[in-house]
Amino acid sequence: MTYDILHSKEKNCRTLNVFRILSIPVLTVIVFLIAFITAIIGADGYESTIVFIIFIGTIVIIVSYAIINSIYKRKKRKLYDAIEQSILQAAGVSEWQFLTDCDYTIRLNSRQAVDHYDDLKFFKEDETRLSDAISLMKLKQEYKKSFQKFLKNNEYTTLKTYPLFVNKIENNLLNTDCYYVFAIYISPSGRSQNSAKLSITKKRLREFEEDKSLLMSKGEYNKYIKAQESEKLSKKQQDYYGRVNDVIDLANENKDSLVNKSDADELDKLVSLLFDRTVNSIKKIKTCDSEEWEIIEKYISDIDERVRKITDKNTRILEYYASDEFAKIKLTCDTLMNTQREFNEYIDEKVKSISELFGTNVIRNETTNEDEFNYIHTYKKSITPFTAEVSSTVFASAENNPLDYVVKHFYPNKGRYPEQIRKLQLLVEELETLKEAKTIIENYKKDIQQYLSDVPSFIMENDEDGFYARLGFATINENTLTVEYKFAYTSNSGRAQRYFTVPMTEETIISLIEMLESKLTMSAFTKEQRSLMTSKLRLQIKERDNYTCKHCGNSIHKEPNLLLEIDHIIPVSKGGCTREDNLQTLCWKCNRNKSNKLQQNEILSGIDDKDD
């Protein structure tokens, strides 16, 4: 009901009250006036008439007043209830609460128990009482705030009945200042009684809530302290795990976009160090005030800073490649590279063939065995498939006899030796070709230097290979030409780590081939035996053919940067041997065309066999 309606009703009620008050004297005057007129007229028997008039008038006065008073009280009660309900609604309270100063009543066994009863004993008797009291006190405070806010500013102050409600609210709010407990004792006979009232303030409840020891025995308190320390330590561990995960997430987010392989390797190394130096240490620290936390904090911050340097540098490089400045250089070089594009594509194919011979990088979960609770996020670490994780004993033996253990760990299937020998022989030839191609590509790069004067030194220092690759040059670096096997040992704790590599140089590959051949049966050995395409033999064939392609006649005399390759006239796959009379010099284009024709013939031959 709105304030205006209430105000109007209150006004009507006051008017009715005035009418009620005036009804008796007005009616009395009327009765006596009638009696007086009757007396003046002086009719026979007027005395009895006057008595009758007064008697009837008195009854009318009493009945009229009773009716008017009843109507007034009923309207006043309705008005009071309506105003009360409107005030409660305006205060945001559904109904009156806490009408008494008793929130909990407890019966005790003696008068003395009542005299010595206090809040400490009350809460110790039942551990749920404190939480119930705190919850109720919160409700009281919310209830009190609602009315206090209402009393500060409302539109009901002009109502005549408003002071009544203010008084009622203030008396009601007295019961919200404390949590009230009544302790009583009544003897079995009912003759002896005793009671005490405990007024527990909000401040006192907060003391009980914050200091659990007040309600605990010594043993309970010690357990509580240990639990608190354990919880605090767990939270600190989680905070540090979070710091580690932030670094891992940053590395994971940026790893795939790194343009420089050395940066990817450095990122792997940093994250590996982060695992080794922090994860295990975080688990082992037993107290929150240990000095080790500061050491770990500094280490995480250092790794985080170094990872960010890598990612920031990579972002800067990528921003340059996306710039108009680089686009202009690429547009200029695209015209110059037209004559070299096919050659660079051919070399890229050669590089891929090396990758196929020795495998590609794989992804593994670095932390699956590091953290039994999975607090640490997984990091995608790239590793070569030619990595053997071995024991300390095997590691020591492998250092002394590397090739023996390369065969044992990476060539365990003797049935595949013939295929693997052929791949290793091809690998020697391809590596030699790439070495010569690298020199030719470096010469091509010199031809365009005059157009690269505006390239930032930052790019050439940090991503020279990537820069030239984006211009269309094939990339041949040490990572391409140096293939290696790796033996690694990691202790159970993860703290001790060692590894060594076996680089696959031409001499090492030849020794590996010979070792595999020595393990073949005589028939298999005879079938696979042939001379290797050594650097010396390649040079002899080129000199014999005067560094001239036997198909097209092109030579290094006509084209200084011409890539010449040594070709088996009868392919090895058809039974051809590596002898001088089965070898010829071809330029890379002719060699490529011949390889393509052989592949097409093999495909057609396979189709014919199926048709038959």
Q: Which two tokens stand for residue 471?
A: 């211009």
Statement to judge: residues 14 and 40 lie in one domain = yes
Range in 15-24, 520-529, 553-562 the model is least confident about: 520-529
Q: Say what the pLDDT of residue 382 is.
A: 61
pLDDT mean over 525-534: 57
Q: Say what the pLDDT of residue 372 is.
A: 46
Q: Quote the CA–CA distance of 225 and 217 in Å, as a whole number.
A: 12
Mean pLDDT of the chain: 83
* DSSP helix/strand/coil, 181: strand
Per the CB < 8 A criterion, the answer to whether 267 and 310 are in contact is yes
Please indicate, yes or no, if residue 115 is contained in any of the structural domains.
yes
Q: Is the pLDDT of residue 542 over 90?
A: yes
Report DSSP state, residue 92: T
pLDDT band per the 50, 70, 90 thresholds, residue 360: very low
Statement to judge: residues 278 and 153 lie in one domain = no
Please indicate, yes or no, if residue 264 is contained in any of the structural domains.
yes
Please, which residues bridge with residue 388 across strands? 487
For helices 128-152 and 162-173, the axis angle rounded to 10 degrees is 160
pLDDT digits (tens, 9 = 90+) for 241-287: 999 999 999 999 998 888 887 888 889 888 888 887 887 788 888 88
Q: Say what the pLDDT of residue 218 is.
A: 80
Q: Is the pLDDT of residue 450 over 50?
A: yes
Could you give the maximum distance between any two Cα atoms of the chain, in Å? Answer: 177
Range in 35-49, 96-110, 182-196, 255-269 the model is least confident about: 35-49
Q: Is the pLDDT of residue 370 over 70?
A: no
pLDDT mean over 293-312: 94
Statement to judge: residues 157 and 291 lie in one domain = no
The CA-CA-CA angle for residues 309, 315, 321, to 5°, reads: 140
pLDDT digits (tens, 9 = 90+) for 80-101: 888 888 889 889 998 999 989 8
Q: Which two tokens stand for residue 395?
A: 């590691």
Statement to judge: residues 126 and 83 lie in one domain = no
Q: Quote the CA–CA distance of 35 and 50 in Å, as a whole number.
A: 5
> Counting beta carbons within 10 angstroms of the beta carbon of residue 501, is it exposed (0 to 12), middle (13 to 18) or buried (19 or more)?
middle
- Among 567, 610, 612, smallest CA distance to 587 is for 567
Q: Say what the pLDDT of residue 18 is.
A: 83
- Among 117, 13, 14, 25, smallest CA distance to 75 is for 13
pLDDT mean over 43-69: 76
Q: Quote the CA–CA distance of 485 and 501 in Å, as a whole number.
A: 5
Q: Is the pLDDT of residue 117 over 60?
A: yes
Highest mean pLDDT among 31-35, 58-62, 399-403: 399-403
Q: Is the pLDDT of residue 478 over 90?
A: no
Q: Which two tokens stand for residue 295?
A: 């050491």
Statement to judge: residues 76 and 114 lie in one domain = no
Q: Which long-range contacts (CB under 8 A, 24 or more apart) does 496-499 make?
A: 497/276, 498/395
Q: Which two tokens stand for residue 81?
A: 């209830």
Q: Which two tokens stand for residue 426?
A: 């091809």
Of 56, 91, 126, the residue that ends a domain is 91
Which residue type does 139 have?
L
Statement to judge: residues 194 and 281 lie in one domain = no
pLDDT digits (tens, 9 = 90+) for 147-171: 999 999 888 888 888 888 899 999 9
Please indicate, yes or no, if residue 333 is contained in any of the structural domains.
no
Q: Quote the CA–CA distance of 11 and 17 in Å, as a whole number.
A: 10
CB atoms within 10 A of CB 449: 9
Which residue type does 603 have?
I
For the chain, helix, strand, coil in percent to 5 are 65, 10, 25
Statement to judge: residues 372 and 507 lie in one domain = yes
Per the CB < 8 A criterion, the answer to whether 427 and 357 are in contact is yes
| Residues of the domain holding 18 | 3-91
Q: Is the pLDDT of residue 438 over 60?
A: yes
Q: Say what the pLDDT of residue 364 is.
A: 39
Please indicate, yes or no, if residue 330 is contained in any of the structural domains.
no
Please indicate, yes or no, if residue 329 is contained in any of the structural domains.
no
Using only C-alpha atoms, what is the Rg of the chain? 51
Of 23, 57, 91, the residue that ends a domain is 91
Q: Which tops the pLDDT comparison, 183 or 479? A: 183
- Work out how many domains the chain is built from and give that number: 5
Please indicate, yes or no, if residue 163 is contained in any of the structural domains.
yes
Q: Say what the pLDDT of residue 10 is.
A: 79
pLDDT digits (tens, 9 = 90+) for 569-581: 988 777 778 888 9
Q: Which tops the pLDDT comparison, 395 or 368? A: 395
Range in 7-21, 433-447, 597-611 the model is least confident about: 597-611
pLDDT digits (tens, 9 = 90+) for 563-610: 999 998 988 777 778 888 989 999 999 998 888 787 676 655 555 554
pLDDT mean over 166-178: 92
Q: Which two tokens stand for residue 489?
A: 């040992």
Please indicate, yes or no, if residue 334 is contained in any of the structural domains.
no
Q: Quote the CA–CA distance of 225 and 511 in Å, as a whole number.
A: 68
Q: Is the pLDDT of residue 348 over 50?
A: yes
Q: Which tops the pLDDT comparison, 363 or 34? A: 34
Q: Say what the pLDDT of residue 60 is.
A: 82
φ, ψ dihedrals at 555, nearest 5°: -145, 170
DSSP states of 389-404 as a string? E--HHHHHHHHHSHHH
Q: Quote the CA–CA distance of 607 and 589 in Å, as a whole number.
A: 27
Statement to judge: residues 400 and 537 lie in one domain = no
Q: Quote the CA–CA distance of 348 and 44 in Å, as a whole number.
A: 148
Statement to judge: residues 408 and 514 lie in one domain = yes
Q: Which two tokens stand for residue 593?
A: 């065309």
Q: Which tops the pLDDT comparison, 315 or 480? A: 315
Please indicate, yes or no, if residue 135 is contained in any of the structural domains.
yes
Statement to judge: residues 209 and 222 lie in one domain = no
Of 215, 232, 247, the residue that ends a domain is 215
Range in 55-64, 90-99, 182-191 the model is least confident about: 55-64
Report DSSP state, residue 475: P
pLDDT digits (tens, 9 = 90+) for 133-144: 999 999 999 999
Classify each residue of 119-140 as buried b or exposed e, where b means 16 or more C-beta atoms within 10 Å of its C-beta.
Answer: beebbeeeeebbeebeebbeeb
Statement to judge: residues 303 and 180 lie in one domain = no
Q: Which position has the token pair 């160090």?
A: 273
Q: Quote the CA–CA distance of 595 and 578 in Å, as a whole number.
A: 17
pTM of the model: 0.58
Q: Say what the pLDDT of residue 197 is.
A: 92
Per the CB < 8 A criterion, the answer to whether 525 and 414 are in contact is no
Per the CB < 8 A criterion, the answer to whether 329 and 451 are in contact is yes
Statement to judge: residues 79 and 141 lie in one domain = no
Range in 2-16, 245-259, 328-342 the model is least confident about: 2-16
pLDDT mean over 331-360: 76
